[in-house]
Amino acid sequence: MNSMTLTAKAVRVGLFAAATTSVAFSGLAFAEEQNDGAKVERISVTGSRIKQVDMETSSPVTIISAADIAMTGEKTVADVLNNSAINSFGSWRGMSGYGAGSSATSSVNLRGLGSSATLILLDGRRMPGTSSSSGATADTSQIPMAIVERIEILRDGASAVYGSDAVAGVINIITKKDFQGVSIDFSTEQPSVDGGDANRFSLAAGYNTDKGNVTFTYEYYDTKSVMDKDIWALDDPNYEGYSSFSSVPNGYYDTGKLDENGKAIYDFYTNSDMCDQTENVTDWHDGENNGRCGYSYGEVTKLFGDVTRNSFMTTFDYEVTENIQFRGRGSASLTETNTRYAATPVSTNYPVMGADNPNNPTGTDMTLYMRSVQIGERDTLTEGNNFDILGGFVGFSDVGNGIDWEINAQHSSSTTNSFNYNLINDSIVQSEIDTGNYDVFNTTGMSYEDWNAQMTDLYGKAAHTGVYQGKFDSTQFDGLISSTLFEGDSVVVAAVGGLEYEMINFSQVSDPESAAGIISGGSGGDDVDAERTRQAAYAEFQVGLPANFDLSAALRYERYEQNGNTNNGNQESTFDAVVPKLGLSWRPVDSLLLRASYGDSFRAPNMGEMFASEALSFESTMDTVWCDDNTDANYCRSTQQHKTLYGGNPDLEAEEGNSFTLGGVWNATDAWNIELSYYSIKYDNKIEIVDVADLVKEESENGGSEYIKRGADGKIETIHSQYRNLASVNTSGIDFVTGYNLETGVGDFRFKVEMTKILSFEEQQKPDAETVDWVGEVGRPDLRGNFMVSWEGDNFQAAWNTVYIGAQDADFTNEYYGRTGTGYEYADRPDYFKHNVQVSYYHDWNGSLTLGVNNLFDEEAPNDFAEYRDYRDADTGLYDVLGRTYFLRLNQKF
């Protein structure tokens, strides 16, 4: 009997077997007797809903076991995934300064196609999405390490199998089950920088009976904040992380003079004496009068916030009858994150001091650049609560070749509450300045203490607490049946088919003042009130052919119907698609598997992308349109922030794509295996918020832009952006994995190398635009890899894990965005190596102790810019910025 026949026969799942990873107790193994009486193990493999005999199928899958995870030395699932070679350009890690709860989340970005193109599963089912992503992406940082049995990464598109969003790949996190006894785990780590201390405690317990099993896991995780000033070189002479929005106000006014081109000359006015006496403020860039006071915002902000998380999970199964089993899962994650950003710049609506104001030193109208440092920094408390409950019946009917069936119900809820303290009501600031009671420039010569007290009083009257709440609810019902349709001497056909129905509600709302656009310092306004239903039907077939060929095919129909409130009233839309997937594998010899797969992909826009009202942000880019003809050292910087309003677009179309993989797996010996795979992904109609740098570039090329509003002086006043269907992204590359096990008289050695070489990453930002290949440019390394070597003796184990990120060139990036010759060019990035090492001792009382060091050689992240330094001058999505980190882990089983 050939191996494919066994695979097909394995579909006849027995009494307690699931025919699909959609219910997802994938860690369970089942067996069926062959004609010779031997047992064949059947397992669920990510990428197919049909039980397999062989872990290797026509789709490439990377498996990271619990042991592999432990040997990485990383503290969270998010960090483990971020270091994967196929997480090409790095991923989002929550940082201070980002609204809607996103400062408290982490995501994954397979193949560099965006986190919304990567589907995250927990035991084969979609994880609840975050409110900050409108439910489109899951927060991988909320998954407790204690529950993870293994992580399976499907490295090709799988919309036909799992549905929308599986464009770049699928990450399936498999949890521990059938656990017997009690396990206690404690770990602590200490970075070499101040802050960042992390502690984790977990408790896992399980109990088995003749009728079933129940497991329970609890994890407590706590990490301390890291201040920006402890990471970045704020004392570097090239440091330019200053803002004209200062605790000592700056006034911007028309001098009444003209330059050589007949344009009005504008200048700043400030009180240099107050500037010299104020903490974190410097007399910066002299002007015709007193220059301006520059505020060093990086001195007071947190890069990563304080995080406390409590996670719970239980799984259970129970034999109801001889042919029916009930099983389920419940989980909860409760997280609090405290972040800090610099005190509020009064910038949503700039205050103006009129020419007739008694405190105006210039006698002409002045635009004020103010920052409310006197009442404290912007502290944000974000509460994230995620709940998930799943229940289902699995059964077997002895009809024909045998029919396996299952029916499930699942409800998930994700809620985010954010409280943003020390924001500023612009209207109050303006009205108080208009009274003439506040001498913000100290023209009357008050003492510093008296001047500072009046500024405290002014901002205290205008102080505002911003409130944001996002809620995403999902209720799903699904079922499937599977069987062997045909079984002959040389051909076997197995199939599975199923239906899914999901109801989704999503809302996010800010406090009324923030939504009205009169509050500075927050990101209110992107309110959403929407709902949608999703209906899906799918079928999957596997055909065992002569000569050890294996043919697989999947087809899914998916339909989304949604409606939401917009400025133009309630809007409705429908998206639907039929997506196929085909796979072929062949074993010419037992040790070699050759395979190929092709699949279409489909992603419906999320409800925030479609229905969000305009939200305020301040985005950084150089205004090359103005700066090509004018000089202003403060304004003409790549870090210059511009008032930007982002909004949804109800006219969006669905994203489409396809992926192709070709490769093979060779077990060269019993101890050595090699995998080589080629991938190519085409991603059309890709939805992205249009970057402000691209809008400025577009304006320069077209001689104007409807999205950019400029003031009387020609500088950018407001940028309007929205989600659009950008033309396409095409990317291709090669994955290489090899592993070798060596048994010796002094212990067992294990070697593993994982590399991804990106051959192309071509992006066309609109149909008539040039196609740009970004591979190897800044932020898009063409080579990533990991190398791991471990040793295991009688009572000891040691591991050395190396993360590699390839060098990146900045020449084309600077040319493309008009930075060449400006002094604010991106810098080239050299090769980067991060080494994590650890040693474990396993004692005779069923426990262990592990000591380790992450980033052993204290490798620094490359600087982003060539000739100046900013307070966040590194890519935190790609690189480790915490330096050498020591950790200790204790485990005890009972």
**Which domains are present in the chain?**
3-230+304-343+379-426+462-893 (2.40.170.20)
Confidence of residue 796 (pLDDT cuts 50, 70, 90): very high
Structure tokens at 609: 């992308």
CA distances from 339 to 534, 763, 789 (A): 36, 34, 37
496-547 pLDDT, tens per residue?
A: 999 999 999 999 888 988 888 899 988 766 788 999 999 999 999 999 999 9
Residue 120, pLDDT score: 87
Q: Which candidate, 314, 229, 317, 235, places its Cα nearest to that of 282?
A: 235
Bridge partners for 589 per DSSP: 592
Residues 6+ apart with CB under 8 A from 32: 9, 10, 12, 14, 39, 40, 42
Q: What is the Cα–Cα distance from 294 to 212, expressed in whole angstroms?
A: 67
Per DSSP, the three-state class of 84 is coil
Least confident range from 258-267, 506-515, 715-724: namely: 258-267
Residue 742, pLDDT score: 95
Residue 375, pLDDT score: 97
Confidence of residue 341 (pLDDT cuts 50, 70, 90): very high
Residue 98, pLDDT score: 64
State the chain's mean pLDDT as an integer. Answer: 86
Q: Over the Cα atoms of the chain, what is R_g?
A: 29
At residue 546, φ and ψ (nearest 5 deg) are -60, 160
| Between 464 and 510, the higher pLDDT residue | 464
Cα pseudo-dihedral 635, 638, 643, 644, rounded to 10: 150
838-871 pLDDT, tens per residue?
A: 999 999 999 999 999 999 999 999 988 877 777 7
Q: Which candidate, 309, 114, 327, places its Cα nearest to that of 219?
A: 309
| 453 C-beta neighbours (distance < 10 Å), count | 13
Least confident range from 114-123, 206-215, 323-332: namely: 114-123
Percentage of the chain modeled with pLDDT above 90: 50
Structure tokens at 647: 């909004």
Confidence of residue 21 (pLDDT cuts 50, 70, 90): very low
Residue 290, pLDDT score: 52
130-144 pLDDT, tens per residue?
A: 766 666 777 787 777
581-600 pLDDT, tens per residue?
A: 999 999 999 999 999 999 99
Amino acid identity of 491?
V
Bridge partners for 62 per DSSP: 153
Residue 7, pLDDT score: 34
Residue 79, pLDDT score: 83
- Count Cβ atoms within 10 A of the Cβ of residue 277 and give its class: 0-12 exposed, 13-18 middle, 19 or more buried: middle
618-674 pLDDT, tens per residue?
A: 777 888 888 888 777 667 877 777 888 777 888 899 999 999 999 999 999 999 999
Structure tokens at 82: 């971020």
Residue 93, pLDDT score: 72
Say if strands 242-243 and 292-296 run parallel, antiparallel, or are unpaired: antiparallel
**pTM here?**
0.86
Q: Which candidate, 888, 820, 887, 885, places its Cα nearest to that of 859?
A: 885
Amino acid identity of 310?
N
Confidence of residue 34 (pLDDT cuts 50, 70, 90): very low
Q: Which whole number is the average pLDDT over 443-459?
A: 95
- pLDDT of residue 13 exceeding 50: no
Q: What is the Cα–Cα distance from 418 to 421, expressed in whole angstroms?
A: 10
Cα pseudo-dihedral 360, 361, 365, 366, rounded to 10: -90
Confidence of residue 369 (pLDDT cuts 50, 70, 90): very high
- Assign 3-class secondary structure to 765-825: CCCCCCEEECCCECCCCCEEEEEEEEEECCCEEEEEEEEEECCEECHHHHHHCCCCCCCCC
Confidence of residue 44 (pLDDT cuts 50, 70, 90): low
Least confident range from 20-24, 35-39, 47-51, 136-140: namely: 20-24
DSSP 636-696: SSTT-EEEEEEE--TT---EEEEEEEEEEEEE-SSSEEEEEEEEEEEEEEEEEEPPHHHHH
Residue 28, pLDDT score: 26
Q: Which whole number is the average pLDDT over 480-504?
A: 92
Confidence of residue 53 (pLDDT cuts 50, 70, 90): low
At residue 161, φ and ψ (nearest 5 deg) are -95, -45
- pLDDT of residue 772 exceeding 60: yes
Residue 19, pLDDT score: 29
Least confident range from 106-120, 406-420, 838-852: namely: 106-120
- pLDDT of residue 2 exceeding 60: no
Residue 491, pLDDT score: 92
Confidence of residue 617 (pLDDT cuts 50, 70, 90): confident
Residue 100, pLDDT score: 59
Q: Measured on CA atoms in the order 614, 617, 622, 625, is the torsion positive or negative?
A: positive
Confidence of residue 16 (pLDDT cuts 50, 70, 90): very low
Give the DSSP H/E element, type plus range, for residue 614: none
- pLDDT of residue 17 exceeding 60: no
Confidence of residue 57 (pLDDT cuts 50, 70, 90): confident
- pLDDT of residue 11 exceeding 70: no
Residue 37, pLDDT score: 44
Helix axes 448-462, 426-434, angle to 10 degrees: 130
Q: What is the Cα–Cα distance from 650 to 724, expressed in whole angstroms?
A: 10
Amino acid identity of 155?
R
Say if strands 118-122 and 169-175 run parallel, antiparallel, or are unpaired: parallel
- pLDDT of residue 403 exceeding 80: yes
| 367 C-beta neighbours (distance < 10 Å), count | 17
